[in-house]
Amino acid sequence: MIKEILWLKTENTYPYKNLAMEEYLTMNVKDGQCIMYLWQNRHTVVIGKNQNCWKECKVTKLEEDGGYLVRRLSGGGAVYHDLGNLNFTFCVKEEDYNLDKQLSVILEAAKLLGIKAEKTGRNDITVQGRKFSGNAFLKIGKQCYHHGTIMLNVNGSDMAKYLNVDMKKLQSNGVDSVASRVASLIEFRPDISVAMMEASLIKSFSQVYGLTAKKISEEKLPAEEISKLQEKFQSWDWKYGKKIPFNHEICERFPWGDIQIQLKVNGGIIEDINFFSDAMEQDVITLIKGALSGREYNAPALIDAVVNAKLEAASENASLISNIKRDLVSCIAHNI
Amino acid sequence: MAKLFSKSHEWVEMTDETTAVIGLTDYAQKELGGLVFVNLPEEGDDITAGETFADVESVKAVSDVISPVTGVVSEVNEELLDAPESINEAPYEAWFVKVSDITEKEELLTEEEYDAFVAAL
- Extents of the domains making up chain B: 3-119
Side-chain-side CA neighbours of residue A272 (13 Å): 5
Q: What share of chain B is helix, strand, coil (3-state, %, to 5)?
A: 20, 45, 35
SS3 at position A220: helix
Query: Which DSSP helix (H) or strand (E) runs through A44?
Result: strand A44-47
- Contact (Cβ atoms closer than 8 angstroms) between residue A39 and residue A12: yes
Please name which of A110, A137, A199 lies closest in space to residue B63, comparing C-alpha atoms.
A137
Q: Which residues pair with B70 in a beta bridge?
A: B104
| CATH class of this structure's domain A242-335 | alpha beta
The two domains A4-239 and A242-335 share their CATH topology (first three levels equal):
no
Best to test chain B binding among A19, A50, A238 (most B CBs inside 10 Å): A50
Cα separation, A114 vs A132, in Å, equals: 15
User: CA A104 to CA A206: how far, in whole Å?
Assistant: 11
Closest CA to B69 of B98, B29, B44: B98
Domain spanning A4-239: which CATH class is it, in words? alpha beta
**A48 neighbourhood in chain B, CB within 8 Å:** 57
Q: What is the ipTM of this complex?
A: 0.83
Cβ neighbours of A131 (radius 10 Å) = 18
Q: What is the signed CA dihedral for B111, B112, B113, B117, rounded to 10 degrees?
A: 90
* A23 contacts A73 by C-beta, under 8 angstroms: yes
Instruction: Check CB contact of B17 with chain A, cutoff 8 Å.
Output: no
Separation of alpha carbons B67 and B18, rounded Å: 15
pLDDT digits (tens, 9 = 90+) for B4-21: 999 999 999 999 999 999
Q: Strand, helix or coil at A72?
A: coil
Give the CATH fold of the B3-119 domain: OB fold (Dihydrolipoamide Acetyltransferase, E2P) (2.40.50)
Chain A positions in Cβ-Cβ contact with residue B31 (cut-off 8 Å): none
Partner residue opposite B62 with nearest CB, options A123, A138, A174: A138
Report the chain B residue with the minimal C-alpha distance to residue A243.
Answer: B39
- Tell me the whole-structure pTM to 2 decimals: 0.87
- Chain B residues with CB-CB distance to A122 below 8 A: 59-60
d(CA B56, CA B54): 7
Give the pLDDT of chain A (336 residues) as one tens digit per residue.
999 999 999 999 999 999 999 999 999 999 999 999 999 999 999 999 999 898 889 898 999 999 999 999 999 999 999 999 999 999 999 999 999 999 999 999 999 999 999 999 878 999 999 999 999 999 998 999 999 999 999 999 999 999 976 655 677 778 888 878 899 999 999 999 999 999 999 999 999 999 999 999 999 999 999 999 999 999 999 999 888 888 999 999 999 999 999 999 998 999 999 999 988 888 899 999 999 999 999 999 999 999 999 988 888 888 999 999 999 999 998 888
Inter-chain CB proximity A175 and B57 less than 8 Å: yes
